[in-house]
Amino acid sequence: MGSVWLAEHLSLRTPVAIKLIDVEVAKNASARARFDREAQLAARIRSAHVVKVLDHGLTDHGLPYIAMECLAGETLRDRLTARGRITLSETAKIVSHVCRALARAHEAGLVHRDIKPENIFMAREDDGEIIKILDFGVAKATDALSIAGMDPTRTGALLGTPYYMSPEQAKGLKSVDFRSDLWSLGIVVFECLTGQRPFTAPALGPLIAKILGTPAPALSAAAPSARIPAEVEAWMRKALAVDPDARFASARELAEAFMVASGMADS
């Protein structure tokens, strides 16, 4: 939908990241509205684990832009591409940080709807690495504060990245809530620990059929050499329950359960 550029704040002389909407996409009124909405929704979340929106508006040529904090590091996708899979302790840190961001987003009445490795950034800071969520471009406001009544959701619309879509997203349901994000994070965790996605298919239709009707394989079956604890296997089954009511009740509960299951609760 757009591109991201490194720029300098003219008065503060500090680096910023500028996200621009593509010229052709900008001609579409609904796409422009969604881009503007992304900035407003992300700005509602107060968390060190969400990329900070500094400003948004129009360029001199009339293109919408979002100015964000400039991050140094790599996406989780970059790391998985380089290494295949990551350790249980690294995964635990990702779960902890992402769930802090999701907890704040969900408290603010927002559902991200596109949690995936490309939208999880491993930011390098002076005191170590911090994980941040990117891109609220398809986020949904679930509360009465839905901005200007704008919500791109409609029944039958598939918003999100197919491999990480929850069953309710795959059905195109309008009643997608925070539990959809928890499912998507479960898919991310599966990929972190095994180097594979649990559901794959050559086309969208068969992929949706698998998400809706096929249980995810056991982690140990996908990566026998990874030595996944039985407690983490049980955690995964709950995270990827097709029925949203059978999943974890909140991002905090999901994170706490993973820390216990992985043996990282006291680390």
Mean pLDDT by 10 residues, the chain (267 residues): 81 87 78 77 85 86 86 96 96 98 91 92 91 77 38 42 90 86 98 96 92 94 93 98 96 98 82
Give the pair of three-digit tokens for residue 173: 């349901």
- Do the Cβ atoms of 151 and 141 come closer than 8 Å? yes
What amino acid occupies position 4? V
Catalytic annotation, pick one of 114, 126, 143, 266: 114
Residue 192 class from Cβ within 10 Å (0-12 exposed, 13-18 middle, 19+ buried)?
Answer: buried
Look at residue 72 in the predicted model and tell me its pLDDT: 92
Look at residue 141 in the predicted model and tell me its pLDDT: 54
Look at residue 137 in the predicted model and tell me its pLDDT: 60
pTM of the model: 0.86
Look at residue 267 in the predicted model and tell me its pLDDT: 59
Look at residue 24 in the predicted model and tell me its pLDDT: 77
Name the nearest CA neighbour of 59 among 20, 106, 17, 98.
20
Look at residue 258 in the predicted model and tell me its pLDDT: 98
Beta-strand (E) ranges in 70-155? 73-75, 110-111, 120-125, 128-133, 140-141
How far lies 166's CA from each of 131, 187, 202, in Å? Answer: 22, 9, 18
Give the pair of three-digit tokens for residue 265: 């609760």
- Residue 114 is a catalytic residue: yes
For 9: left if phi > 0, alpha if psi spans -120 to 50, otherwise beta; the answer is: beta
Look at residue 82 in the predicted model and tell me its pLDDT: 97
- Do the Cβ atoms of 40 and 109 come closer than 8 Å? no
Q: Which domains does the chain have, with CATH numbers?
A: 2-69 (3.30.200.20), 73-262 (1.10.510.10)
